[in-house]
């Protein structure tokens, strides 16, 4: 079955710097890759997603890139702010399935 | 998206008892899922709740321990049976609309088993 690896597990950056989180997946048939942000004590919230027919997607300070050949995708946050501090999860869903398999999470801390 | 609620929001239970968690959505959804998130960990899919039929369980989860109901397109329950301290976790439901892969999560139920 699908397996999703996520790195790093923790990431500390200075406010204004960029942050990059990387994920790799095992199932070459996976075609949907969402990213969720989970603040302490809150539910996971979708922040951006990408489908396998697209290589990059941007939404203001957030971007996701997908390399299907290498089976990895990355989240890029530019001009980080303290409110970006949270745990971020990547996920992948396989072809013809509605299930999401989640990565292990990255705890991002942005210091003012 | 959708407005998703869960009841209870938290509970403290004695070992050997059972707890039923409810998930209610304000609009009809195609898919409903139940996840477990242990402290400081990622989300693990327990099962897919199928409307009008038995749930589809993931490896490591069984119906006797986690019975699930989904009587209609807006409501589902997850029961955690014969609880032990190892069942202490956050249980989350998620939903997806017809022909959409995006899943939206409920607020979660924090369970502590003593």
Q: Give me the residue label for tokens 């995708």.
A: A73
pLDDT of residue B29: 85
Q: What backbone phi and psi angles, to 5 degrees, belong to B11?
A: -160, 150
Of B42, B102, B107, nearest to A46 by CB-CB distance is: B102
d(CA A30, CA A52): 8
How confident is the model over A63-82, as a mean pLDDT?
96
pLDDT-based confidence at A94, cuts 50/70/90? low
Q: Are A104 and A9 in contact (CB under 8 A)?
A: yes
Residues in chain A with CB shorter than 8 Å from the CB of B5 are none
Q: Of all residues in chain B, what percent carry a pLDDT higher than 70?
A: 100
Is the pLDDT confidence value at A97 over 80?
A: no
- Nearest in space to A62 (alpha carbons), one of A33, A5, A20, A104: A20
pLDDT of residue B67: 97
Interface of B with A (CB under 8 A): 31, 33, 41-45, 48, 59, 92, 96, 101-108
| Strand ranges (E), chain A | 4-7, 10-14, 19-25, 32-38, 45-51, 56-59, 62-67, 72-77, 86-92, 101-102, 106-111
Interface of A with B (CB under 8 A): 1, 32, 34, 36, 42-46, 49, 89, 93, 98-105
Are B101 and A34 inside 8 Å of each other by CB? yes
Are A43 and B101 inside 8 Å of each other by CB? no
How confident is the model over A26-50, as a mean pLDDT?
95
Residue A13 in 3-state DSSP? strand
- Shortest distance, CA A91 to any CA of chain B (angstroms): 10
pLDDT of residue B19: 98
How confident is the model over B27-33, as a mean pLDDT?
90
pLDDT of residue B46: 97
Of A32, A43, A46, nearest to B107 by CB-CB distance is: A43
| Strand ranges (E), chain B | 4-7, 10-13, 19-25, 31-37, 44-49, 56-57, 68-72, 75-80, 89-96, 104-105, 109-113
């Amino acid at each position: 079955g699908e397996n999703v690896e996520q790195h790093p597990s923790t990431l500390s950056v200075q406010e204004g710097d960029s942050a990059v989180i990387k994920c790799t997946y095992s199932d070459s048939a996976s075609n949907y890759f969402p990213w969720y942000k989970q603040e302490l004590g809150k539910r996971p919230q979708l922040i951006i997603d990408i489908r396998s027919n697209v290589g990059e997607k941007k939404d203001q300070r957030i971007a996701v890139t997908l390399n299907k050949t290498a089976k990895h995708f990355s989240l890029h946050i530019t001009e980080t702010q303290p409110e970006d501090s949270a745990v971020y999860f990547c996920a992948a869903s396989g072809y013809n399935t509605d299930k999401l398999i989640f990565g292990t999470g990255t705890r991002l801390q942005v210091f003012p | 998206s959708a407005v998703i609620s869960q009841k209870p929001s938290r509970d403290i239970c004695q070992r050997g008892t059972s707890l039923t968690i409810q998930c209610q959505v304000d609009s009809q959804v195609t898919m409903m899922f139940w996840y477990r998130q242990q402290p400081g960990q990622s989300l693990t899919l327990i099962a897919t709740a199928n409307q009008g039929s038995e749930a589809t369980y993931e490896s490591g989860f069984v119906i006797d321990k986690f019975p699930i109901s989904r009587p209609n397109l807006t409501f589902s329950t997850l029961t955690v049976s014969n609880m032990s301290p190892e069942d202490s976790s956050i249980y989350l439901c998620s939903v997806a609309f017809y022909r959409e892969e995006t899943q939206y999560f409920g607020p979660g139920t924090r369970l502590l088993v003593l």
